[in-house]
Structure formats: structure tokens, C-alpha cells
Amino acid sequence: MKQSIYSILKGKFLVSDDSFKNWRIIIFISVLAIIMIASSHSADKKVHEIAQLNNEVKEWRSAFVDGRSKLMRLKMESALVEKMAKKGIAPSVIPPKKIKVKTQE
């Protein structure tokens, strides 16, 4: 038991006659580890990008809602009457009349 532990620590399994099998396994495991690390980094990068895009979408949605509410306030009749009163234009007291056009066939 003690000898096998010493031989592993000294690396004799890497330089012995049948070490080619051991090297193949070590290289295969190393390549798999590198692929796993690269995949993990790629996934983390995508998660951060998605979070950043979600924040950007929230900001744009907030700006859209703010702009829409400002537009609604500007389109209200009371706001229009107020702006026109400053220019000396008052709303009509006589209601408008509908004009019906009859088509001739």
C-alpha cells in the first residue's frame, strides 16, 4: 500500500512501459475539463448579457410610458383650451353641425 502511494506521487505511472494508455486518458480528461470551463464561461457571459438587455428593456418601457402619459396630457381638451387662451383664441360656444353629403347615382 505504501509503495503504491509513493509510486503514484513520484509519477512512475507516467514513465513506465505501458504509460501510453495513462497519457491518453490524462489528455482526454484535460481536454474535457477545458471544454467544460469554456462552456461555463460562455453561459455566464450570456446570463450577464441577458440581464443587461432586460434592464435596457425596462428603461425603454419606462421612457415609452412616460412619453405616452405626456402626450395624453398635451392632447387633453383642457390643456388645449389653456394654450389657445394664451394666444387669444377661445373655444366656440355654438356646437358644430354635421354636414351630410348625398351621393348621386
CA–CA gap between residue 4 and residue 7 (Å, rounded): 5
pLDDT tens digits for 57-101? Answer: 999 999 999 999 999 998 898 888 888 888 988 888 898 899 998
Q: What is the DSSP letter of 94?
A: S
Average pLDDT score, the chain: 89
CA–CA gap between residue 42 and residue 49 (Å, rounded): 11
pLDDT tens digits for 10-42? Answer: 777 777 777 777 788 889 999 999 999 999 999
What pLDDT is recorded for position 39? 97
What pLDDT is recorded for position 57? 98
CA–CA gap between residue 58 and residue 47 (Å, rounded): 17
Q: What is the pTM of this model?
A: 0.56
